[in-house]
Chain A
Amino acid sequence: MGLKEKLHSFKEKNRNKKWIPAFNAIHTFLYLPNETTHNGTHIKAADDLKRTMNTVIMAMVPCLLFGMFNAGYQHHLALGEIQAVSGGFLSAEFWTLDNFMVGFWKIIPLVIVSYGVGLLIEFIFAIINKHEVEEGYLVTGMLVPLIVPIDIPLWMLAVAVIFGVVIGKEVFGGTGMNILNPALTIRAFLFFAYPTWMSGDKVWVHGADPRVQDLAAGAQPDAISGETILGSLAQNNTSMIDTTADIWNAFLGFIPGSIGETSTLLILLGGLFLIFSKIGSWRIMLSSVMGAIVMGLIFNFVADSGIISESSKFYGLMNTTFWHHLLIGGFAFGTVFMATDPVTASQTNKGKWIYGFLVGFISIMIRVFNPAYPEGVMLAILLMNVFAPTIDHYVIQGNVKKRMKRLKVKTA
């Protein structure tokens, strides 16, 4: 008797035990279960929840690996140990084992904590509620390490994950029922509960904080601290966008930022993969980019026509070229992996256009107008998550009305 049958008979034997959902979850994760639906209508399809989730995770893996290299690179760069990259995407200075190991040892604990704590809660709730463990957390648990600063303490991450999974998801009945994206709920919780760890100019590069103290103590200021481009622009300082973070570096991702958000190129590849496998909605991604471009163009127009003076605190961000906005910060990551979350986004096709457009529009607006939050994508998506059911409701009502009219014409 093979392992597969043994597991199956073990499951049959313990069918009525309390902890059986936990066993089932591990069993399903390892093997495709050896049973089929017996009665009722059912749809035969290749993409069950597990496969959907795994596809999204595969799309994120390049970002994670790049994040590990980039963490080490930024760390060494900030300490002045290596030179800035010069040879394009495949520069030898970037893809070194040394860089990778620094990032690896910083990021793997984040991944473990995120998955460990989150899945533990999922298991507990599944056992209490007597339902199967759902695979929904697989993606959330992967997203969370990618959207936090690298030096975040592990206990903070654990607290935030508990909050996000319990309040953001389990109280609504688990996967598929939540109204806000759980990963973003976790990040928003961190953002508002521990603001000093989540924003500012020191958190984005591992080891940047002691470096700043060195500088204050009189060390040679030969290296920058770990400030993001948006942070420096919000202070009306355009030197960074002209030098260290020019368009090319921002596109390839050699800039400080949250772990997975920096490389627009790899996110773009992940996005294409999601569109190609029909997991992510191209409508949302496209309309969100459109929304951001429209808002960026409006701001560029305002800045160019001289309505707003150059000394204004909004000028630096307003004057940023509209397509540059797409490359910096978390815009690309949010658009591809967060806004397209099928549970919390609009469900109707027309609704997806409206939803995506507003996500892009509002995120650039928050970026420019709200000095408290240099990054607007997270909050824009959360806000639109709140309004997604409203949009859906009106789209559906519109369709109902249209069909009623058609029916009337037909029957009359």
Chain B
Amino acid sequence: MEHIELFFKSIFIDNMVFSVFLGMCSYLAVSKKVATAVGLGAAVIFVLAITVPLNWLLDQYLLQPGALSWLGAEYADYDLSFLSFIMFIATIATMVQLVEIVVEKFSPSLYNSLGIFLPLIAVNCAILGGSLFMQSREIETLGLAFNYGVSSGIGWFLAILAIAAIREKIRYSNVPAPLRGLGITFIITGLMGIGFLSFGGMLTGGDEEEKPATETAINVNELETEKAKELADNTKIIE
């Protein structure tokens, strides 16, 4: 159940493109043809599926506060999490190199059509974002981390697939000249975002709406206690 929920959530609700706006550069640039978009999307799924679990292992056994305790008791209070960015990027860059070699070997045509964007996956924010979200959301097991990587990759894949099909469809549309190209793509992305909003807040049971209310209530209480304290202080001074 946990797996299904995470899977569904990271594809639709926390979609990489439409809810956190990550990986936009390659999403906008490589979405002119469906075939290319599918290739890039598959590469992103693959890279995410490998890097997120790898980074999970790194995070769990190297970076987290107390992660080094398997070395011995004297290492238990080491906190290396400031190294997260460097370590994650290193893993990602290595994996992307690997993917590049594999793609070049087995599908030269895809390799040529992806062009510069294949090596650029290394700096695709969706990939690093996946790892960082994995860290900040404290995903518990390796299996869940793998699930998270695959499903957020699928979410990104669906987004680029849909926009590529739309862009192929509107190729002969009479778009006003100033909007042609990137402009209309941005507008389409916004409209697609409206479609994806249908999943926003799903499975929450309205909790999201209630939370801010309680927070403000707490704040109000705090304010009131502070005011009361001030008042008390003032009265003391007066006395």
Contact = CB atoms under 8 A, between A and B. Distances in A.
19 contacts: A129-B174, A129-B176, A171-B179, A172-B170, A172-B173, A179-B191, A180-B191, A313-B205, A366-B199, A370-B199, A370-B203, A372-B204, A372-B209, A383-B196, A383-B198, A386-B162, A386-B166, A387-B162, A389-B166
A172 B205 CA distance: 37
Interface of B: 34, 161-162, 165-166, 168-170, 173-176, 179, 184, 187-188, 190-192, 194-206, 208-209
B149 to A, nearest CB: 23
Contacts of B176: 129, 171, 173
B187 A167 contact: yes
Nearest to B163: A386
B169 A389 contact: yes
Interface string A378-391: 01101101110110
A169 to B, nearest CB: 11
A192 interface: yes
Q: How large is the interface on A (under 10, 10 to 19, 20 to 34, 35 or more residues)?
A: 35 or more
A373 B199 CA distance: 9
Contact of B187 (A171, A362, A386): A171
A231 interface: no
Contacts of A177: 170, 173-175
Nearest to B203: A369
The list of the 3 closest CB pairs from A to B, nearest first, reads: A379-B198, A173-B174, A389-B165
A173 B198 contact: no
Contacts of A387: 162, 165
Contact of A390 (B165, B184, B201, B208): B165
Contacts of B168: 389, 393
Given A188-B194, A370-B198, 18 more contacts: A129-B174, A167-B190, A167-B191, A171-B184, A174-B174, A179-B166, A179-B170, A179-B191, A180-B191, A180-B195, A185-B191, A366-B198, A372-B204, A372-B206, A382-B194, A386-B166, A386-B192, A387-B162
A169 B176 CA distance: 11
A390 B162 contact: yes
Contact of B194 (A129, A185, A366, A390): A185
Contacts of A256: none
A371 interface: yes
A232 B191 CA distance: 30
